[in-house]
Amino acid sequence: MSKAKIAIMNNMCKSGISTFQVYALLANQCGGFNKLNYDPRDLYNQIANMRREIPENVGRALNFLEEMAAKDKSLYYQELRATDGRLLNLFWCDGLCRENYELFGDVVAFEATYNQNKYKCPFVVFTGVNHHNQIVVFAACLVTDETDETYIWVLQQFLEAMNGRAPSFVIIDGARAMKNAIEKVFPGTHHKLCAWHLLLNATTNMCSPRFTSKFKDCMLGNYEIPVFRSKWKTLVEEFGVEEKEWLNKIYEKRRSWATCYIRGKFFAGFRTTARVCIY
């Protein structure tokens, strides 16, 4: 991002405009989302870099974890600091989280949420489901950016906390840094893309409710692979989007989202990272 764009972004954020709205406004100024040379994740990272640290709250958080660790010998937490002493990342999971993972950790949903805390830091949460199909939390982490290095550190802490056992399957939102970290730290783990995020991206990039509906059918339909390929070809030809870059990239990743390619793999009923109903 140019210094001028960063200045505009900061002014809009100070005025109470949400990060997504800032991104949309910057895209509008440039003539469309495809004209930007950065994505929303880069915007969040830039904001995270600009935020001011509040040392006293960092101290309170660490003191709280120390007190909890004295009561719960199985609690695991780790911090990462910058060379100047600033807290960059904070990872933790208690004894119950680790027990749940031991029992139900075959499938893990891995997601970062935004704007849910006053520091505007992404909050990363690892969740799964138990034998009653109830959500259980395995671990959580606050991070100040979403780079490959940050997510590699997060997953390394997760692996350490869970005694070196990686999940068999993970569901992610498709962020490049998250995918790269999983491939490096969990090389034997199969990952699936979040259906909700895929549909949201289809709506944003294609700007056609009819296209999104037919894309959803291709994604969730219980077809054989030849039928899926035929439907995909018909979809592309019907809307004349053979040269659409986003669509071609998504098709290259079809083994991570199309039902016909992931049939037979156990994802514990997860279609989305947040278990959002999309039917």
Q: Where are the beta strands (DSSP E) in the chain?
A: 76-81, 87-93, 107-113, 123-129, 135-142, 169-172, 190-193
Predicted confidence band at 99 (pLDDT cuts at 50, 70, 90)? very high
CA distance 254 to 233: 13
Amino acid residing at 100: N
200's tokens: 């949201």
Q: How far is the C-alpha of 136 from the C-alpha of 113, rounded, in Å?
A: 17
- Would you place residue 273 in the very low, low, confident or very high pLDDT band (cuts 50, 70, 90)? low
Q: What is the pLDDT of residue 92?
A: 95
pLDDT digits (tens, 9 = 90+) for 131-154: 888 889 999 999 988 899 999 999
Buried b (16+ CB within 10 A) or exposed e, 129-147: beeeeeebebbbbbbbbbb
CA of residue 250 relative to chain centroid, distance: 16
What percent of the chain stands above pLDDT 70? Answer: 88
Question: What single-letter amino acid sits at 20?
Answer: F
Mean predicted lDDT score pLDDT of the chain:
84
Query: Which pair of structure tokens corresponds to residue 214?
Result: 């037919």
What is d(CA 66, CA 261) in angstroms, rounded to the nearest whole number? 46
| Nearest CA-CA partner of 199 in 148, 262, 274, 107 | 274
Residues in the chain: 279
pLDDT at residue 221 is higher than 80: yes
